[in-house]
Amino acid sequence: MSRDSKTVANLKGQLSKFSGIIAKRFKKPKHRLIKEMLYGMQASKDVKLSNIARTLKEEQALIKTEDRLSRNPDDHDFTDGINKEICRLAAPKITDDMVIAIDPGDIRKKYAKKMGFLAKVYDGSENEIEEGYPICKVVATDIESKKVLPLYCEAYSHLAEDIKSENTQILKALKIILKHIGDKGIHAMDRGGDRVL
């Protein structure tokens, strides 16, 4: 076995183990989807379904693989289940002197035209209002070792019926995180922290 094929086999094994852990709340077809999407994004270094589908090298037309990958996530939101598992996995590694950084931000989709619930977001880096999605992410970091542990990440849209405000999204993230890590760590929030709590 060549070094490249050993690396690929090792990567597939690690991704399979990781996807099995974060997807354990879901049924078998969703397990497979999460595993394939993670592998495809890693292998293609892209998030386009056509490129992800190519890396899977299935014995059927590429368009059929793309259709399956695009159809499968439609009936289920994976966000809460995956976030809870990521938090649960990270919780034992959180120490009292770690910084828990809560960072509301955005994903800019400058060229997107047909994505669902696409809304206006303010891009602070460019000082512009563009199409995209707000995002709420939380990481834990140890300043001494420069280690960063992901705890939570969710993109959402103000146009969706079940989204009330950015504040409610931040509070939702905090509720999940506090359930898993308790009062460990030093909590810090970039912008808007004074209006949430």
Compute mean pLDDT per 10 residues along the chain, 197 residues long, and list them: 72 80 82 86 88 90 89 76 90 93 88 84 82 92 85 92 89 92 88 57
Do 20 and 61 fall into the same domain?
Answer: yes
| Same structural domain, 152 and 83 | yes
Same domain, 121 and 157: yes
Domain of 118 in residue numbering reads as: 79-196
Spatial CA neighbour of 169 closest among 180, 149, 159, 154: 154
Strands (E) located in 51-167: 99-108, 119-123, 128-142, 147-155
- Domain shared by 90 and 144, yes or no: yes
SS3 state at 149: strand
pLDDT for the residue numbered 162: 87
Distance in angstroms (rounded) separating the CA atoms of residues 138 and 77? 19
Question: Whose CA is closest to 98, among 187, 189, 191?
Answer: 187
Verify that 159 and 84 share a domain, yes or no. yes
Note whether 125 and 189 are same-domain residues.
Answer: yes
Q: Is 106 helix (H, G, I), strand (E, B) or coil?
A: strand
Helix (H, G, I), strand (E, B) or coil at 148: strand
* Structural domains in the chain (count): 2
> Which of 75, 94, 122 is the endpoint of a domain?
75
**Which H or E element spans position 177?**
helix 166-181
What is the Cα–Cα distance from 11 to 163, expressed in whole angstroms? Answer: 37
CA–CA gap between residue 117 and residue 77 (Å, rounded): 15
N- to C-terminal Cα separation, the chain: 56
The reply to whether 42 and 90 lie within a common domain is no
Q: Are residues 123 and 149 in the same domain?
A: yes
CA 88 to chain centre: 15
Report the largest interatomic distance among the alpha carbons of the chain, rounded to a whole angstrom: 58
Q: Tell me, yes or no, whether 51 and 33 share the same domain.
A: yes
Percentage of residues in the chain with pLDDT exceeding 70?
92
pLDDT for 194 equals 56
Domain boundary among 35, 60, 75: 75
